Amino acid sequence: MKRIFTISVAAVMALLMVLSLTACGNSTLGYYKLTSAEASGMSFDSSTLAAVGMDKGYILLKEDGKAKLSAAGQEQELTYDDKNFTADGESIPYTLKDGVITMEKDGTKLVFTFDANFKPEASTTESSK
């Protein structure tokens, strides 16, 4: 009886560990909404972005190493790894920490924050896969 209990507990623990690793591995996928920007010495917070019509910007990280960047009404397909987004052979370094993507290039800094409830207006059929 004790052996069956021990095996059962071990099986449950193994299952929980696999499920938690799967959840952690996919926790970075999904939509990140543009929440601030800096360019040419000017800073834009979320309310300023909304006032100039840029509050719909986002990055969608997909499971297959592909991403979509949408900002100022323009969309760009990207690929990504742990350190860079790449589009048309050009790399843009980024960091991802605590649900915040920060990317900076040529004096322009964009900050995107994970938003599990965000769906772009133009396409409600996008998924994180």
Tens digit of each residue's pLDDT (9 = 90 or more) over 29-78? 999 999 999 988 888 888 888 887 788 889 999 999 999 998 878 899 99
Answer for the pair 128, 60: CB distance below 8 angstroms, yes or no: yes
Which tokens go with 86? Answer: 């790449």
124: left (phi over 0), alpha (psi -120 to 50) or beta: alpha
Express each pLDDT in 74-112 by its tens digit: 899 999 999 999 998 899 999 999 999 999 988 889 999
C-alpha neighbours within 13 Å on the C-beta side of residue 96:
17
Q: How far apart are CA 24 and CA 17, in angstroms?
A: 11
For the chain, list the domains and their CATH numbers.
26-114 (2.40.128.280)
